[in-house]
Every structure is written in C-alpha cells, then in structure tokens.
Amino acid sequence: MALKSDIARAIEEIRAAYPGHAVSFKEDGEGGAFVEVADLPLGEQYEPNTSWVRFRITFQYPMTDVYPHFVVDGLRRKDGKPLGESFQLNNQGWQPPSGTITTTMVSRRSNRRDPATETAAIKLEKVLAWIRSR
C-alpha cells in the first residue's frame, strides 16, 4: 500500500520543523512510515547528548498517537542516576529506515490528544522537551 497523504504531509511538517536535521523514512507497507530525524539535542545531562529519534507514523494517523519514540542505545545520565520512568533500555527490534537495531525506547503516550492539533512534529517536540527536562 502506498504512503497515505496524511503521512506524507506529516513527514513534510517534520522536515519544516527541524531544518538542518536529516529526515528519512521508509514506507511500512500499510500506508504509514518509519521515520528517523538525525542529530537532535537531548540535553547536556545525557551521554551522548545528541541522538537520532525514530518512530512510526501508522496508517491510522492523524487519528492515532505517534508512539513510542526511540533514541540511541546506551543513553545514560552523566550524573550516574537512572534514566527513570518512561525509558526502556536495550529495546530490541527497531525497523527501517536503518534496519533492526537495539535502542532506548521513550514511552510517552498522549492519552487525551486532539488529532486536529497534535501533529507528529508537535509530538516529537513534546517528547524532546520531556527528555530535556529530566
């Protein structure tokens, strides 16, 4: 199945929201896409302090949440404290565009989201802001 127009529009919105960051995607075969945004700052409290962020926009978008997000495997806090709730280390099985790799999953579901106003780009920014605030 070809990429749905809502998904293509979401990818273009992400590109516009993150100029200077490579945005790649691979169609998932169901009308959605696996998306990667490169070199995003996570915060100086982390090592590494930048990462790609990967996520899937499913064919149900915009009616469904863009969830979860994935960052580089081995993310850690410089102060030695645990990452805390909503992080899952050594998550197996991320798929395209880069293939199957181990990641750190960031689980930030938006239970009462408004599909008319919370886009994939806005959700990515919310996830990044949450990571940076930890």
Q: Check: CB of residue 32 under 8 Å from CB of residue 58.
A: yes
Per-residue pLDDT band for 91 (boundaries 50, 70, 90) equals confident
97-126 CB burial, b ≥16 within 10 A, e <16: eeeeeebbbbebeeeebeeeebbbbbbbeb
Q: What is the mean pLDDT of residues 37-47?
A: 98
For residues 116 and 15, the model is more confident at: 15
pLDDT digits (tens, 9 = 90+) for 43-84: 999 999 999 999 999 999 999 999 999 999 999 999 999 999
Domain annotation for the chain: domains and CATH numbers: 5-133 (3.10.110)
Q: pTM higher than 0.85, yes or no?
A: yes
